[in-house]
Structure 1
């Protein structure tokens, strides 16, 4: 697996939500932890850590074990189905990985440990050092963003920003995107058409990639917010894709697919991600977060890249994170204290410094912001754009009654039907609204 794919898996494990949502009826809510706890017994302690293959290296494990005699780390590769089974059986790993956006479902069911007491006692991880993105791991009993914190983000990005290849822009005679002004989605589609190259009926260069396979709820929700609207009602128990703002966002995706300027679920890339196509100079623009720049740090072949602000649909610039991958400790974990030691090492120690310096995402701690790379010209330019975009960061609404993966797959189903002409956009948005509200109602009933 390419380094990019491994890194992105750490950010994009959205499928966890579906497996967890499916187990609502199997896993009962448990009381939240009141403070640091764990086995605390003598002898050797082993902690089971379920994370992505590239998230915790053998070298990092060895360093942690050397610094913490008596604690051993057992690495389990992230597997949504296995995690679901372990949670349902009451024998979860001691650390699991997941998105801050999407954690409301897990937290509402009492599956995660309140980390606030640990933060208060920690000498290296401080609550006042956490970037606001970590607030999406908060849960006050009714909504995310407030109250105790149930996870720590490892790194993050504003995921609707754009990377582009200036060499392909030059070849097509298209002006570069602005470093400071947001391109409208309508103009972005026009630009993508100019950049797309076809030969003998085959697309040789895509004008724009949207990472369609990873997220649809995130960008569509941001599009609606940019128009001054919201997909959800106030208590996040109902969703509405029939509003003018939502239908405009949905229509844009249909127009994108019909224009043939980029991959879709009906015309997917073989590896399911934009990087290899972009690196091969067969894609001019990709909608990816700051983290995407980490791909180029060790690649001398492709330095004709630039970073651009998130495009806008409407009058309000909104640049959210779609996930904000991090770690959390299950409420029924056997070795919470030892797990927290590893959290401290990984989130505030050498691994955190290395991640920040690599450019694989923005650091989740304020104190690490100055570690971001600026040696290469493209890194300096991307850093400046990323700092400006922080002004437009807003959290996405996160309903406890449905998983992000179920949102994505259901949206995609109706997009496909609209693209194929089986439904008009109003018909597709109406049917999508009905199906998602049925799932939300089931979620409300299960959570009581």
Structure 2
């Protein structure tokens, strides 16, 4: 479970190359390789430098790949943003890089990622017609995401606005269970969270609602705005406006949540920065987490009978249930060993590791062909599978500007939410300040990228 907490917390920071400079070439090899689909190796052993998380691309996975590809050796580097940016700046990028689909616009606009479409067109293992729509966030047509060539492939994903809850805590508070088919409204969810919160000595002993505040603010706020039928960015992706009715409602909801004290915030953080431990301890009634969260309960027999999943809440009339990340990988544009990196991409995204991930329930597969592999043996797994399958009908990509990183937006929003929660600023003032600061970042990003 600890490894998954680490994995999931990293999602909010998974645009590793954001803010970096363009790569020039890769130089940690022991051989040569062609750089076009099917070009093949020039002979000898190729050392493929891979930057990923070791709890995702494991030693066993690496051993299996090297056994199947005796001419390729993997040099593994633990994913770390500072190191990646240094490698890119020095002209020495890895051959394969861990990254999220959401937020990839910045990487693509900088020309850091290779176009994978020619590989997809020739591959018999990893095919474009088998890719689920979540992969569209890795597409880039030169000005926006969602269409054009593929610049990355998703490993696994979840619709992260969905809810997991403890039915026994609902029963103790005499609160009706959440529907498995109809989404709860955000305002009603806030009211339910207040009813479920248990206090003693002025402190919350049981939190009514957790939002994984430490992981992401910008993505769920964008979701709220889209659900109200408004756009987040201007058409050219250079401006935002959080002072609109939809923006004020979303920010105001977060302020009310923070003032109510019904869940952790950056003003009242959890020691480990994640909801899981508190949820497992039966000290949190609801947590906003994706399908992947259910993987935590496979060995928690005492909890399995009181765990259920519910659809993403709505703010407005439009159901929008996105992924906040969609972690996968890209091949740097200047990588020397693109062909070998693609072979690893095929193995990891569509081979034995992909089937293993699907069967484990740690997230949904990014391939249509692997969706039936999701576990349904335990009652809670069957229930969450059904909810997740229905939720797929409302999947939609989040907007993504190449001119600002999600991390920057998160930090700006958190700063001003704190001030509003502490009554140092009104909701309206917070919305104006957030708008001004993000737009300043967007302007700077536009000037840098051109």
- Kindly indicate whether the alpha-carbon contact (under 8 Å) linking 1:38 and 1:335 is maintained by their aligned counterparts in 2: no
Partner of residue 420, structure 2: 418
In 2, Cα distance between equivalents of 1:67 and 1:338: 12
Three-state SS of the structure 2 residue aligned to 1:148 is strand
Partner of residue 300, structure 1: 301
Three-state SS of the structure 1 residue aligned to 2:332 is coil
Partner of residue 117, structure 1: 118
- Kindly indicate whether the alpha-carbon contact (under 8 Å) linking 1:278 and 1:286 is maintained by their aligned counterparts in 2: yes
- Kindly indicate whether the alpha-carbon contact (under 8 Å) linking 2:158 and 2:290 is maintained by their aligned counterparts in 1: yes
- Kindly indicate whether the alpha-carbon contact (under 8 Å) linking 1:6 and 1:53 is maintained by their aligned counterparts in 2: no
In 1, Cα distance between equivalents of 2:38 and 2:403: 29
Partner of residue 277, structure 1: 278
In 1, Cα distance between equivalents of 2:376 and 2:431: 44
Structure 1 position 337, deviation (Å): 1.1
Three-state SS of the structure 1 residue aligned to 2:313 is coil
- Kindly indicate whether the alpha-carbon contact (under 8 Å) linking 2:207 and 2:262 is maintained by their aligned counterparts in 1: yes
Three-state SS of the structure 2 residue aligned to 1:15 is coil
Structure 1 position 29, deviation (Å): 9.4
Tell me which of 19, 22, 32 is aligned to 1:22: 19
Structure 1 position 34, deviation (Å): 8.3
- Kindly indicate whether the alpha-carbon contact (under 8 Å) linking 1:104 and 1:400 is maintained by their aligned counterparts in 2: yes
Q: CA offsets, 1:281-317, max 9 Å, x none?
A: 1100000001111111222232110000000111111
In 1, Cα distance between equivalents of 2:114 and 2:418: 39
Partner of residue 250, structure 2: 249
In 1, Cα distance between equivalents of 2:59 and 2:110: 33
Q: CA offsets, 1:306-341, max 9 Å, x none?
A: 000000111111101111111111111121111111
In 2, Cα distance between equivalents of 1:83 and 1:16: 11
In 1, Cα distance between equivalents of 2:210 and 2:254: 12
In 1, Cα distance between equivalents of 2:413 and 2:97: 27
Partner of residue 219, structure 2: 218
In 2, Cα distance between equivalents of 1:3 and 1:435: 34
Partner of residue 349, structure 2: 347
Evaluate the alpha carbon distance shift between residue 311 and residue 224 of structure 1 in structure 2; reply closer, same or farther with a 3 A threshold.
Answer: same
Partner of residue 338, structure 2: 336
Structure 1 position 8, deviation (Å): 1.5
CA RMSD of aligned residues (A): 1.7
In 1, Cα distance between equivalents of 2:115 and 2:411: 30
In 2, Cα distance between equivalents of 1:28 and 1:70: 26
Partner of residue 313, structure 1: 315
Evaluate the alpha carbon distance shift between residue 34 and residue 56 of structure 1 in structure 2; reply closer, same or farther with a 3 A threshold.
Answer: closer
Structure 1 position 28, deviation (Å): 7.3
- Kindly indicate whether the alpha-carbon contact (under 8 Å) linking 2:109 and 2:449 is maintained by their aligned counterparts in 1: yes
1:348-363 aligned within 5 A: 348-363=350-365
Partner of residue 366, structure 1: 368
Three-state SS of the structure 1 residue aligned to 2:301 is coil
Structure 2 unpaired stretches of 5+? 26-33
Structure 1 position 37, deviation (Å): 7.7
In 2, Cα distance between equivalents of 1:246 and 1:253: 11
1:370-381 aligned within 5 A: 370-381=372-383
Q: CA offsets, 1:406-435, max 9 Å, x none?
A: 111111111111111111111111111111
- Kindly indicate whether the alpha-carbon contact (under 8 Å) linking 2:19 and 2:405 is maintained by their aligned counterparts in 1: no
Aligned pairs, how many? 441
1:68-217 aligned within 5 A: 68-217=69-218
In 2, Cα distance between equivalents of 1:243 and 1:219: 16
- Kindly indicate whether the alpha-carbon contact (under 8 Å) linking 2:61 and 2:353 is maintained by their aligned counterparts in 1: yes
- Kindly indicate whether the alpha-carbon contact (under 8 Å) linking 2:62 and 2:74 is maintained by their aligned counterparts in 1: yes
In 1, Cα distance between equivalents of 2:234 and 2:434: 16
- Kindly indicate whether the alpha-carbon contact (under 8 Å) linking 1:238 and 1:437 is maintained by their aligned counterparts in 2: yes
Evaluate the alpha carbon distance shift between residue 439 and residue 29 of structure 1 in structure 2; reply closer, same or farther with a 3 A threshold.
Answer: farther
In 1, Cα distance between equivalents of 2:275 and 2:333: 36
Structure 1 position 20, deviation (Å): 3.6
Partner of residue 65, structure 2: 64
Structure 1 position 53, deviation (Å): 2.3
- Kindly indicate whether the alpha-carbon contact (under 8 Å) linking 1:39 and 1:334 is maintained by their aligned counterparts in 2: no
Partner of residue 13, structure 1: 11
Three-state SS of the structure 2 residue aligned to 1:374 is coil
Tell me which of 369, 385, 397 is aligned to 2:399: 397
Three-state SS of the structure 2 residue aligned to 1:306 is strand
In 1, Cα distance between equivalents of 2:24 and 2:240: 25
- Kindly indicate whether the alpha-carbon contact (under 8 Å) linking 1:100 and 1:137 is maintained by their aligned counterparts in 2: yes
Q: TM-score, normalised by structure 2?
A: 0.95
In 1, Cα distance between equivalents of 2:210 and 2:6: 19
Q: TM-score, normalised by structure 1?
A: 0.95
In 2, Cα distance between equivalents of 1:297 and 1:413: 37
Three-state SS of the structure 1 residue aligned to 2:303 is coil
Q: CA offsets, 1:244-291, max 9 Å, x none?
A: 100100000000011110000111111111101101111000000011
Structure 1 unpaired stretches of 5+? none
